[in-house]
Amino acid sequence: IVALISLSFGGAVGLMFLMLGCALPQYNQYWPLFVLFFYILSPIPYCIARRLVDDTDATSNACKELAIFLTTGIVVSAFGLPIVFARAQLIYWGACALVLTGNTVIFATILGFFLVFGSNDDFSWQQW
């Protein structure tokens, strides 16, 4: 239960940094909220690959490698988007720093979720 509370606290802190980067009166631009799409998309390739791949094989698997590659591309894009917005002067650099801090916390929380809850696989698609 401590892990669940820690992960939820990390998610709340990360979203707080994202909202501060958008809603503080000196910034007042909501363009950085587009990184929410990256938060939603980032675990999807790995979750799909985990369902398709048999983990008994000790060698590298192309499906799992592709999922890690796509996830890495999504994470890098989430860090690049606020920088592009700041360079295009759509948002201020202070807002960019807050969003990048929020990205770091959120992606660390997502990674922590997979490390804590990813080992036991009690979920079955037959339940649906």
Average of per-residue pLDDT values in the chain: 89
pLDDT tens for each residue of 60-82: 788 889 999 999 999 999 999 99
Q: Which domain holds residue 41?
A: 1-123
Domain-embedded: residue 128: no
Domain-embedded: residue 58: yes
Domain-embedded: residue 34: yes
CA angle 60/50/45 to nearest 5° reads 95
- pTM (2 d.p.): 0.85
Please give the share of the chain, as a percent, with pLDDT higher than 90: 70
Domain-embedded: residue 111: yes
Contacts of 100 (CB under 8 A, 6+ apart): 79, 82, 83
Give the pLDDT score at 96. Answer: 96
How many structural domains comprise the chain? 1
Only one residue has tokens 């992960």, namely: 7
- Joined together, the tokens standing for residue 9 give 């606290």
Contact 82, 96 (CB under 8 A): yes
Give the pLDDT score at 59. Answer: 67
pLDDT tens for each residue of 76-119: 999 999 999 999 999 999 999 999 999 999 999 999 998 888 76
